[in-house]
Structure 1
């Protein structure tokens, strides 16, 4: 047989096979598309209808206090599915407690672990329920957030979304703790500042009061010292000269000048502090000699009231007195005198 003829036959056979392969592929594609629209899609729609319909988008789960239906424990599978569909339509995925889609579907699976409708519905609504739980976390309702996360974990314990939700819940708790601690610290700082201001004010008031008391005591002391200063009119008569001296003075009369000592400089006695604090008044009678230079000496207290309180102050005051000395026959002579010094408040 001619080799060329064989090659031509093979080429013709291959050329005829190509349209056949294309036709088979087209038929298979048509069958797949037809199966999608005629079998798979209607089945999914039926499943979604049984599950209560697919939500158009995530929304906040109802958190109202809608009471659960009566006798939930005695409901059969169909009744539980009906309640679950109603909850889905009202977007009650995880709340309120006992009246939400996830709890109804989980009850169905407890009764029929192989129930495909409940399993598919939980899987389909899980993302929306997780979004609802996240919103509750952001609202910082931590107890409710934990309950919803636990409910999601019963439906799909291995879902990675649970890890994210738990992390967010923990972060929100820590953030709230930090904010609360900041508030507490701020309140403590305000209290400390208020206490410090009050303490400083009390110290300032106390110091002002002490200064006022000291000024009043100083004024009182000055007034008492002024009252206690002897004046010439207050002087007690000096010791009278002896009768002989009087005669001599009278006899000499015109031969020389005779006069008594005259106070020219007094001194304020210093009020004793112990008496000042005790608001104590008194007096002291001081006897002394005036020498020819007009100075005082031989100063001593003859009587006082009360005893041992004003003696020293009286003696110190008299020691600072200055006199014009007594004159006899034109000459300065010593003279004796007593002085009563009052100490009054």
Structure 2
């Protein structure tokens, strides 16, 4: 055969194949369009009807009061559960409240009918928006509710990476709240300690002021007593030689001294006892009974504790105070003499 005939034959064959290819492509395109309008689009419309709108509809920030849950969810059939789920989706009750939300209804549908495509598709389509609802619970620090919602999401899609993110956020928020609560407790404790210290300082200042007032009063008493003593006429003893006539006068003088006034020692300067610091911090009270001797010069000596309650807490403070007391000495027949006294010292806050 001639070469030119062969080439012409091949050209005619290629020209015949091209219309066939075009026809096949056109058939596939028609099939794709038909599948879109007859299968895919009706299915998406059904899913949107179940979810109450397009899945991309954002979660509403407005919280509406949820209706009471159905009386007997366990006894509902698949169609009833799907109807309740659609109602919940329309009201955007994806995960809450407990027992009356779309995810729980769809999960019950899958328990009764594991191959139910409407329920499984609805759970998959609305998972991101339900996760947003769980994140809002975390941000509002409703940790128990957030944990419940995360567990519910895990039942629908346990391998979804969003669950890992939600759990991390929940753990971080819990740690933040724990730290804030600990900081608040520490701050409150610091304020309490500062208030207690201020109260103790004020108490010590008040006690010091009271002791100073007592000391001032004692000094004024002593000054008054000294003024009175100075105003009394002084009597000098006679130094003239004794004669027989004077013996009679001396006897008369002795008789007069026998009738001179006799008096007990009188406190003219009291010193306030210092409150022990340890007892003040412990807010401890008590008393000490002290015995001592007042000599002819009005000074105290032989100071010792007779009794105390509690023992050995306030003893030293009481002894130090009494050792600094000053008295007008006791007198017998007008002559200053030593005397023994007891003093009970109170320690009160």
What TM-score does the superposition give when structure 2 sets the normalisation length?
A: 0.66
C-alpha offsets along residues 158-204 of structure 1, whole Å, 9 cap, x if unaligned? 11111111111111111111111121111111111111111111122
Kindly indicate whether structure 1 or structure 2 has the higher relative contact order, using CA contacts under 8 Å at least 6 residues apart.
1
Residue 338 of structure 2 corresponds to residue 308 of structure 1: yes
How many residue pairs match? The answer is: 269
Which SS does the other structure have where 1:283 is aligned?
A: strand
Q: Which residue of 1 aligns with 2:170?
A: 169
Q: Equivalent of 1:283, from 323, 328, 331?
A: 331
| CA distance 1:272–1:222, change in 2 (3 Å) | farther
CA distance in 1, matches of 2:126, 2:61: 13
Q: Which residue of 2 aligns with 1:116?
A: 117
| CA distance 1:131–1:106, change in 2 (3 Å) | same
CA distance in 2, matches of 1:308, 1:43: 120
Q: Which residue of 1 aligns with 2:143?
A: 142
Q: Which residue of 2 aligns with 1:95?
A: 96
Residue 39 of structure 2 corresponds to residue 39 of structure 1: yes
Cα contact 2:95–2:152 (8 A) shared by 1: yes
Long gaps (5+) in structure 1? 247-268, 286-302, 311-345
**Largest Rg, 1 or 2:** 1
Cα contact 2:298–2:328 (8 A) shared by 1: no
Cα contact 1:61–1:93 (8 A) shared by 2: no
Please say which of residues 134-143 and 24-33 is displaced more in the overlay.
24-33
Q: Where does 1:243-254 land on structure 2 (aligned, <5 Å)? A: 243=243
The alignment yields a C-alpha RMSD, in angstroms, of 3.3
Cα contact 1:52–1:84 (8 A) shared by 2: no
Residue 230 of structure 2 corresponds to residue 241 of structure 1: no
Cα contact 2:127–2:153 (8 A) shared by 1: yes
Q: Which residue of 1 aligns with 2:187?
A: 186
Q: Which residue of 2 aligns with 1:324?
A: none
| CA distance 1:139–1:153, change in 2 (3 Å) | same
Which SS does the other structure have where 2:105 is aligned?
A: helix
What TM-score does the superposition give when structure 1 sets the normalisation length?
A: 0.67
CA drift of 1:65 comes to 5.4
Cα contact 2:297–2:329 (8 A) shared by 1: no
